[in-house]
A and B are shown apart, each in its own frame.
Chain A
Amino acid sequence: DAGITQSPRHKVTETGTPVTLRCHQTENHRYMYWYRQDPGHGLRLIHYSYGVKDTDKGEVSDGYSVSRSKTEDFLLTLESATSSQTSVYFCAIAGTSGGDTQYFGPGTRLTVL
């Protein structure tokens, strides 16, 4: 497995609270991604990063922000969680050695009550 960890692995929170999910990689890959996965919607890109402090929006970025202060860490923040953000969140990485291949972390299951 690619060296990708996500924390926490499970979280239950209440509507309106801030939540931060962490993705950590040991592969020194340049690109990092946050996806959400919901039944019937497949994988949807939230935000991605192409380098330290370089990030851009994906197709479902509303309500989410990200930060990347170090190559190895990519944080996803829900400023004020809503029930529609209940989902499984996956981090992925990609780098020049693998071309366009993305390697996924184990996922974080988030429940917003």
Chain B
Amino acid sequence: QQQVKQSPQSLIVQKGGISIINCAYENTAFDYFPWYQQFPGKGPALLIAIRPDVSEKKEGRFTISFNKSAKQFSLHIMDSQPGDSATYFCAASRGNYQLIWGAGTKLIIKP
């Protein structure tokens, strides 16, 4: 019930394409869903986050889509660029300052 399942494990997208990473959860008590971006040799950094009272949140080229009934959320990267090549982690929290992490997706954007 505490798990967050992330897919795919790795993803290759052509420059200009749309990158989509998916996460699923079981615990309906989760109320905060962030996505983190990690470049090699760096710590993860918050990219975008959503709460379950909205179905979509957009920040620039990055969008989170949230489906409460399906208990799924996804990250969409529009017009993907080589600089977006990184590892992406989804996570979930139930307001107790504990994040449950997905396993990560290594994204490669081919020029």
Contact = CB atoms under 8 A, between A and B. Distances in A.
Interface of A: 31, 40-45, 48, 50, 90, 92, 94, 99-107
A100 B99 contact: yes
Contacts of B41: 107
Contacts of A48: 98
Contacts of B44: 43, 90, 104
SS class of chain A's interface: helix, strand, loop or mixed?
strand
B101 A100 contact: no
Interface residues of B, number: 20
Interface in B42-63: 42-46, 49
B34 A100 contact: yes
Given A31-B97, A42-B103, A43-B101, A100 B32 contact: yes
A41 B103 contact: yes
Nearest to B4: A42
